[in-house]
Structure 1
Amino acid sequence: MLAFCSCTQHPRTAPVTVSLSYRQTDIQQQFDTLFNHQQTAAGVYKGFIEQALAICHGDTGTVTQDVLSSMYLNRHTGRYDCVTTTVFQFPDGTIAANGLFNLTPGDTIAPDHDFPITGGSGAYHDIAGTYTRRYREGVYHVELRYYKLR
């Protein structure tokens, strides 16, 4: 019995869920094309970087979502491999999440995804959880579900 007690995880608080939403008009985007604008086909580049800022709306007010994605064309699949970092800026701190997804050239909306929350600052220091984003009928739905590690 004593052996089982010594293998417990760090104490956690109950999970907190924050629900947010935004529309295409809430997004500011900028693209930087990599490899000197080298195209593999019309409208298809070897890679690019997308930077986006979205104003999200929720019960707690307005939150800024800052996204940076590096997208490289995978010649074997014909799709972009996207490495994405997302930071949500709240008045009392930030929540960061990182993840991967694939995007077909020409698609303008990233697929639905679930990324691990990798940490935060301020009131969100030392947290873990999941960032979920779903796109339905012109609205991006975001859920941040996190808990304090200590």
Structure 2
Amino acid sequence: MKPILVVCTILLAFTACKQHKDPNPAVIDLTYQQTDIQKQFDTLYNHQQADSGVYSGLIEQALAICHDSTGKGGAITQDVFSSMYYNLHSKQYDCVTTTVFQLPDGSISAIGSFNLTPGDTIAPDHDFPVTGGSGTYHHIAGTYTRKYRDGVYHVKLSYYKTDQQ
């Protein structure tokens, strides 16, 4: 009887901690182009190369001026920090990226990972979980989606308020 009580208590605790997911999340659509990006790459390990033109690791810092699809969103920037380490086994960079969108009424942050082939200059399309925010976006969850098509980066921030207050 005692194990059943423990299991029920654990299930009740998980149910209480589960965040409410809104079936109709708020969406912010943004775009930017290569000319909107200020970028800085730093090589790690004193420029050690794993192969010709392939570094052991890179850090990328980029700031992009984003354009709101409605045209009335005010100044919006995307601040990106990526650590890229060359994986000798896969022959690709293992990348971990933190992205923060600065909006007029707060910020939205997301973290994710992807693989990048040496020589590629554009990260693959990705969906990263929104990890939080500030201001209007305090206590949110959701998804940051980025797709690259015909020279334009398309960003969709889909989010909802969590039950945390």
Under a length normalisation based on structure 1, what TM-score does the superposition of the two structures give? 0.92
Q: Which residue is 1:125 aligned to?
A: 138
Deviation at 1:61, TM superposition (A): 3.4
Q: Which residue is 2:104 aligned to?
A: 91
Q: Which residue is 2:53 aligned to?
A: 43
Q: Which residue is 2:25 aligned to?
A: 15
Is 1:147 aligned to residue 157 of structure 2? no
Q: Over aligned residue pairs, what C-alpha RMSD do you find?
A: 1.6
User: Structure 2: how far apart are the matches of 1:39 and 1:12?
Assistant: 46
What number of residue pairs does the alignment pair up? 146
Judging by fraction of residues, say which structure has more helix. 2
Deviations 1:78-99 (A, max 9, x none): 0000000000001111000000
- Three-state SS of the structure 1 residue aligned to 2:77 is strand
> Which range moves more in the overlay, 40-49 or 80-89?
40-49
The runs of 5 or more residues in structure 1 that have no matched partner are none
Deviation at 1:11, TM superposition (A): 4.4
The runs of 5 or more residues in structure 2 that have no matched partner are 1-7
Q: Which residue is 1:27 aligned to?
A: 37
Whichever residue aligns with residue 22 of structure 1, its letter is: Y
Judging by fraction of residues, say which structure has more strand. 1
- Three-state SS of the structure 2 residue aligned to 1:61 is coil
Under a length normalisation based on structure 2, what TM-score does the superposition of the two structures give? 0.84
Is 1:112 aligned to residue 122 of structure 2? no
User: Structure 1: how far apart are the matches of 2:131 and 2:118?
Assistant: 28
- Three-state SS of the structure 1 residue aligned to 2:35 is helix
Structure number with the bigger relative contact order (C-alpha 8 A, sep ≥ 6) is: 1
Taking only the aligned residue pairs, the percentage that are identical comes to 67
Deviations 1:14-72 (A, max 9, x none): 41000000000000000111011011222210001000000000122331000000000
Whichever residue aligns with residue 21 of structure 1, its letter is: T
Q: Which residue is 1:66 aligned to?
A: 79
User: Structure 2: how far apart are the matches of 1:32 and 1:105?
Assistant: 15
Match of 2:91 among 66, 78, 93: 78
Is 1:53 aligned to residue 66 of structure 2? no
